[in-house]
Amino acid sequence: MNYRETVEYMEEMQRRRGSVMGLDVMRELCAALGNPQDRLRFVHIAGTNGKGSVLAFVSTVLQCAGYRVGRYLSPAIREYRERFQVNGRMISQAALCRIIGQVKEAADGMVSRGLDAPTAFEMETAAAFLFFLEKKCDPVVLETGLGGAEDATNIVQNTLAAVFTSISMDHMQILGDSLDKIASVKSGIIKNGCYVISSAQQPEAEQILRRAAKAHQAPFVTADAAKAQKIKYGVNGQRFSYGAYRDIRISLAGKYQIENAVTALETLEALGGLGYPVSGEALRQGMAQARWPGRFEVLGRNPLLIADGAHNEDAAKRLAESVRFYFAGRRILYIMGMLRDKEYERVIACTCDLAEHIITVTPPVKERALSAYELAQAVRRCHAGVTVADSVQEALELAYLLAGQDRNCVIVAFGSLSYLGELMDAAEHRDAIRRDTHGRSEQN
């Protein structure tokens, strides 16, 4: 298969099998491939929000310290290959085709023996293990797909640190309808003797995590962002001190990123005692260089354009907090796109009062997308200023028209990550045209 055929094949597998929890099929698949995961060591990250940001901080610092770091993450925003990275570089198209081909052969063999076919996520996870082993990665920073205990990534055993970002209500139809049930599922990534590092949690979630850590004789560390001091917030960079770490600079914006950064620092501290020391210089460099697309990311200026993947209630509350904090007194315009199986009404309730006008779009996920019209109908129950856009490009152009020449205006695009890649492409294309037009006008 060539690259286009490979991506189409994986998309077809996603449509055919969807998401299936459980590890039996994953065990069969990995066994057929020689169990590559058993020759790797992992930092395993679970949680509702913040997983990707913590992954970015930890992996970038380790890379700056000279380690060969594998990154496995989902979903991708702009390019399918984003899921598989070594030291921040995506897998090549040729390598992806070759490795997916190996996994497909193993999957076809399973089906021929009368076993269930793997899901797309199981195949991708197995492919990641093969790729990271081939590239001699140590460690691999691994983000769970959904939950923890029965997530395909949880086939790993050589876990150095089990890291938990903020746990809140999401995917309740699969993980459970209460915080303690969700935390219990996520705690399943804890392995015997590994370090457990957790962001500050709600009491019922923390109790579950501590109990699981104790059962596995795993040291438990709380990353308490409330202990961060001398915080200097800003959309162009932020600084803070935490314990022995003084004046740490991060480039990721959003008030909530201080919490993610503190969680990363505690994780790196634990890894230092497990044979992965990091110099002060590498730590500062890595924390400052870490990037994570689509998380309160500045895509444009004049007016300011922010993209954020807030797609559940907890993330929406954090987004609203950041908008209030950074942009008090400014005009706010929204572009929103949501999936049908998310708590879109709660997301609307958390955010709508801040917006002057809201433009809705339909995400490019056919089976799960909430149409722009349906989303607009839901928004109208609490906000009168709503416009339905036929495309992401139209939504962006309309937002810029509404902003006009007002530099006090801020456009915030949020919701499903599935449409943010298209938004980023549209923003870049628009800026390129503006730069070209400006350059020609200067020449004339």
Q: What is the pLDDT of residues 87-122, one digit of tens each?
A: 999 999 999 999 999 999 999 999 999 999 999 999
- Please say which residue of 289, 321, 351 terminates a domain: 289
| Structure confidence by residue, pLDDT tens digits, 115-166 | 999 999 999 999 999 999 999 999 999 999 887 899 999 999 999 999 999 9
Residues 116, 172: one domain?
yes
> Is the domain of 187 the same as that of 280?
yes
Residue 331 has what pLDDT?
97
Neighbouring-strand partners of residue 232: 239
Is 222 found in the same domain as 118?
yes
Domain boundary among 272, 289, 306: 289
- Beta-sheet strand order (sheet of 357-360): 297-300, 304-308, 409-415, 331-337, 357-360, 386-388
Residues forming a β-bridge with 222: 198
Residue 314 shares a structural domain with residue 433: yes
| Mean pLDDT (whole number) for 432-443 | 62
Write 175-178 long-range contacts (CB < 8 A, 24+). 175/146, 175/147, 178/204
Q: Which domain CATH number covers 91?
A: 3.40.1190.10
> Are residues 105 and 124 both part of a single domain?
yes
pLDDT of residue 365: 83
| Percentage above 90 pLDDT, the chain | 80
Residues 342, 387, single domain; the answer is yes
Q: What is the CATH number for 380?
A: 3.90.190.20
Pair 153, 48 in one domain: yes
43-52, 167-176, 249-258, 342-351: the lowest-pLDDT one: 167-176
pLDDT at 21 over 60: yes
124/257 same-domain check: yes
Choosing from 289, 317, 339, the residue where a domain stops is 289
Please tell me the pTM assigned to this model.
Answer: 0.91
Position 438 scores a pLDDT of 56
Which residues fall within 8 angstroms of residue 332, CB to CB, at 6 or more apart?
323, 354, 355, 356, 409, 410, 412
Rg of the Cα atoms in the chain: 22
Q: Is the distance from CB of 31 to CB of 259 less than 8 angstroms?
A: no
Q: What are phi and psi of 20, to 5 degrees?
A: -130, 120
Q: Per-residue pLDDT tens for 307-341?
A: 999 988 988 999 999 999 999 999 999 999 999 98
Same domain, 262 and 126: yes
Distance between CA 220 and CA 210 in Å, rounded? 7
pLDDT over 80 (residue 433): no
Residues 7, 12, 14: CA angle, nearest 5 degrees: 95
- Strands 70-72 vs 140-143: parallel, antiparallel or unpaired: parallel
Based on the domain organization, do 105 and 60 belong to the same domain?
Answer: yes
419 shares its domain with 394: yes
User: CA nearest 305: which of 425, 409, 174?
Assistant: 409
Residue 259 shares a structural domain with residue 389: no
From first CA to last CA, the distance across the chain in angstroms is 50
Instruction: Summarize the confidence of residues 234-263 as an average pLDDT.
Output: 95
Range of the domain at 368: 297-443
pLDDT number for residue 175: 63
Count: domains in the chain: 2
